[in-house]
Structure 1
Amino acid sequence: MLERCKTAQERWGGVHSIIDRWLQQRKGLIISWDELRQKASFTPADTPNIQAFCELLVDYVSTGHFEVYEQLALEARDFHDDTALECFKRLMPEIDSNTEIVLEFQDKYDTEAHCNELLVDLPFALQALSLVMDERFGYEDQLIEELHEAHSEQSA
């Protein structure tokens, strides 16, 4: 997943500063996630790292919803790109559904008490979240690519 993140940054990093920051957030999220996934089991001593990961996760998702997606939609409208707007209409329900799953994970591990109660389930929860986030990154990359293509065609 980290390699996919690097590829996205290389392809679209210069499109917009908001996207640049967001892709950096994605990279930090993936690094934190990989550190957690390398552990075979968790103890209460791991709770601060788990909660930090949850914070990164929510920050990443929030930035997408409240900054990036909105900006991508505005730019697609500015370029009068109906194909990009159709891409938004098609992918946003998938992303919204995905967001619900991410927030459910965060709700389970958001406090020390919640986290400590569910430590034994965390490896499985991280594995399931990995599938969800990989799918999400794919949807997000499609949105960015559609916008990038609109810019390339209109600028040429």
Structure 2
Amino acid sequence: MLNQLEQVKGKWGGQLATIDNWLQARQRLLIQYCELAGLAHHDHQNGKQANPLPDPAAIDAFCEAMMDYMSAGHFEVYDMLVSDDAQGKALKQQLYPDIATTTDSALAFNDTYTDVVSEQQAAAFDSHLQALGETLEARFALEDQLIAHMYETQKRKAPAEADSQ
């Protein structure tokens, strides 16, 4: 996912501050995800599981970053990406059900792991985190389609605007 993000930033970064900031938030979210996924939950001296969950503060910080990132998409970035463009609005309508599904999955993860966690929930944390990673990857691919559409539309408009001057 981080490699894909670097490609996206290389292709579209530096052209619009809102997109740059959003992609930076995505990068921070991915780093936090990787840190959660990579944290050792085992007591390596005894070879047994010491704690099935990472530090609750790390989980809370990740969930907060995830909710902030998703909120920015829903309430700021998506509309900007397709604003004055009928094709873009149609693309958003096409992609939105899948984006909403990823939001629902992220909200479920957030709701499960930001409050007091039972032993059963703790035991399932790694598999839930892995599933969330797949969900995030799918969401980023959908969002990248919106970003690509906006930049393609801008590219097509630029020559037309230059010709009219």
TM-score (norm 1): 0.88
Q: Which residue is equivalent to 1:16?
A: 16
SS of residue matched to 1:133: helix
Cα deviation 1:70-105 (Å, max 9, x = unaligned): 21122xx1xxx4332221111111111211111111
- Is 1:44–1:116's contact at 8 Å kept on the other side of the alignment? no
Report if aligned partners of 1:91, 1:139 keep a CA contact under 8 Å in 2.
Answer: yes
User: In the TM superposition, what whole-angstrom CA distance separates every residue of 1:46-83 from its partner, at most 9, and x where no partner exists?
Assistant: 11111111111111111111110121122xx1xxx433
Q: CA–CA distance in 1 between the matches of 2:107 and 2:118?
A: 14
Contact 1:47 1:116 in 2 (8 A): no
Map 1:127-146; keep pairs closer than 5 Å.
127-146=130-149
CA distance change for structure 1 residues 116 and 13 in 2, over 3 Å: closer, same or farther? Answer: farther
The structure with higher relative contact order (CA 8 Å, sep 6+) is 1
Letter in 1 for 2:7: T
Looking at structure 1, the residues matched to 118 and 18 of structure 2 have their Cα atoms a distance apart, in angstroms, of: 32
Corresponding residue pairs, total: 150
Between Structure 1 and Structure 2, the one with more helix by share is 1
Cα RMSD of the aligned pairs, angstroms, is: 1.8
- Whole-Å Cα distance in 1 between the matches of residues 80 and 56 of structure 2? 35
What is the correspondence of 1:94-109 to structure 2 with a 5 Å cutoff?
A: 94-109=98-113
Q: Could you tell me which runs of 5 or more consecutive residues in structure 1 were left unpaired when the two chains were aligned.
A: none
Summarize deviations over 1:91-122 as a string: whole Å, max 9, x none: 111111211111111111122x1377622211
For structure 1, which segment, 36-45 or 88-97, has the greater mean C-alpha deviation from structure 2 after superposition? 36-45
Of 84, 87, 92, 1:83 maps to 87
Counterparts of 1:116 and 1:17, CA distance in 2: 43
**Equivalent residues in 2 for 1:10-89 (5 A)?**
10-41=10-41, 42=51, 46-74=55-83, 77=84, 81-89=85-93
Structure 2 gap ranges (5+): 42-50, 160-165
Q: C-alpha separation between the residues in 1 aligned to 2:74 and 2:118? A: 26
Q: 1:115 to 1:39 in 2, by over 3 A?
A: farther
- CA distance in structure 1 between the aligned counterparts of 2:128 and 2:103, rounded to whole angstroms: 15
Larger Rg: 2
Q: 1:132 to 1:152 in 2, by over 3 A?
A: same
Q: Is the 8 A contact 2:52 2:122 kept in 1?
A: yes
| TM-score normalised by L of structure 2 | 0.84
Distance 1:148 1:116 in 2: 47
